[in-house]
Structure 1
Amino acid sequence: MIPFGGITCCLSAAALYLLGRSSGRDADALKSVTRVNQLKDLAQLLEAASKVLPLVVTVSGRVGSDTPIICEYSGLRGVIVEQTAEQHFLKHNDAGSWIQDSALMLSMCKEVPWFLDDGTGRVHVVGARSASGLVLTVGSEMFEESGRSLVRGTLDYLQGLKMLGVKRIERVLPTGTPLTVVGEAVKDDIGSIRIQRPHKGPFYVSDKTIDQLIVNLGKWSRLYKYASMGFTVFGVYLLAKHALQYIMERRRHWEMRKRVLAAAAKKAEQDEEGLNGKTENGSNSTGRDRVMPDLCVICLEQEYNTVFIQCGHMCCCMTCSSHLTNCPLCRRKIDQAVRTFRH
Structure 2
Amino acid sequence: MAQLSDRPSSWMNFLSVGGLASLGVSAALFQLSKLQDGRIFELDRAQLVETLAHIAQLEHMLPLLVAVRGRITCREPTTCQLNGTSVVMRELVEEEVYFKEHPSGRTTQENFEVRREREQREAFLEDRTGSIRLENLEHAAGLTGVMEVKQEFRHADLLQETLMQAMLSKALKSMVRHGVRITERYLPVDTTVTVVGELVADCVTSSVVGSRASRSAAVDSSQQTSQKQQQPSGSDGSPAAAVAARPAMGSRDAALGTNIASAGNVAATATATAVAAAGAELIGQAALQALPYTLRMPARGPFHVTTLTLPQLRTSLERASIIIRAFAWGFGLLGTVLVVRKAAQAYHRLQSHRRFQRLLASSGNNGEDDGVRGPGTCVVCLDRNSDIVFSGCGHMCVCNACSVSLQKCPICRVASQTIRVFRP
Specify the TM-score bucket, using the shorter chain as the normaliser: 0.7 to 0.9
What aligned pairs does 1:270-281 form with structure 2 within 5 A after superposition? none
The 2-side partners of 1:94 and 1:130 are apart by 45
Candidates 126, 133, 143, aligned match of 1:124: 133
1:68 aligns with 2:77: yes
Correspondence for 1:258: 358
1:186 aligned residue? 200
Instruction: Say if 2:107 is the partner of 1:98.
Output: yes
- Which residue of 220, 228, 231 maps to 2:320? 220
Give the corresponding residue for 1:89: 98
Q: Which residue of 1 aligns with 2:18?
A: 5
1:147 counterpart (148, 157, 162): 157
Of the three residues 358, 362, 367, the one matched with 1:293 is 367
Q: State how 1:12-31 maps to structure 2 within 5 Å.
A: 12-31=25-44
Q: Deviation at 1:263?
A: 3.8
Other structure's SS at 1:6 match: helix
Q: Distance in 2 between matches of 1:171 and 1:106?
A: 14
Distance of 1:181 and 1:137 partners within structure 2: 14
SS of the residue corresponding to residue 195 of structure 1 reads strand
Name the SS for the 1:165 alignment partner. Answer: strand
Higher mean Cα deviation, 166-175 or 26-35? 26-35
Using the alignment, how far apart are the partners of 2:103 and 2:28 within structure 1? 37
For 2:313 and 2:27, how far apart are their aligned partners in 1?
A: 24
Distance in 2 of aligned mates of 1:199 and 1:260: 72
**Kindly, what percent of the aligned residue pairs are identical?**
25
**Partner-residue secondary structure (3-state), 1:72:** coil
Q: Helix, strand or coil: the match of 1:110?
A: strand
Which residue of structure 2 lines up, in the alignment, with residue 177 of structure 1?
191
4+ residue runs over 6 A deviation: none
Letter in 2 for 1:262: S
Amino acid at match of 1:145: H
Aligned length: 268
Q: 1:179 Cα deviation (Å)?
A: 0.8
Residues 188 and 24 (structure 1), Cα distance of their counterparts in 2 relative to 1, 3 Å cut:
same
Measured against aligned partners, the alpha-carbon deviations of 1:148-168 in whole angstroms (never above 9, x if no partner) come to: 45954751542x322222211
In the TM superposition, residue 253 of structure 1 has moved relative to its aligned partner by 2.0
More helix per residue: 2
- The answer on 1:233 being equivalent to 2:305 is no
| In structure 2, C-alpha distance between the alignment counterparts of 1:30 and 1:170, rounded to whole Å | 31
Question: Structure 1 residues 207-216 or 2-11, which shifts more?
Answer: 2-11
* Per-residue Cα deviation, 1:131-187 (whole angstroms, up to 9, x for no partner): 1111243352111122345954751542x3222222111111000100110000011
5+ residue gaps, structure 2: 1-11, 206-291, 374-424
The separation in 2 between residues aligned to 1:13 and 1:230, in whole angstroms, is 8
**What is the rounded CA distance, in whole Å, between the counterparts of 1:164 and 1:263 in structure 2?**
80
Q: Counterparts in 2 of 1:263-342, with a 5 A limit?
A: 263-265=363-365, 292-296=366-370, 299-300=371-372
Q: What amino acid does structure 1 have at the position aligned with 2:131? A: R
CA distance in 1 between partners of 2:194 and 2:171 (Å): 49
Q: 1:241 to 1:101 in 2, by over 3 A?
A: farther
**Correspondence for 1:268:** none
- Using the alignment, how far apart are the partners of 1:5 and 1:104 within structure 2? 39
**Mapped partners of 2:112, 2:127: distance in 1:** 42
Q: What is the CA–CA distance in structure 2 between the aligned matches of 1:185 and 1:153, rounded to whole Å?
A: 54
Determine if the alignment matches structure 1 residue 49 to structure 2 residue 121.
Answer: no
- Tell me the equivalent position of 2:211: none
* Partner in structure 1 of residue 342 of structure 2: 242
Instruction: Extract unaligned runs of 5+ from structure 1.
Output: 266-291, 302-343
Q: What is the deviation of 1:122?
A: 0.6
Q: Cα deviations across residues 72-116 of structure 1 (Å, max 9, x unaligned)?
A: 121010111011122222223353422223233333321110101
Q: CA RMSD in A?
A: 2.1
Q: Which residue of 2 aligns with 1:329?
A: none
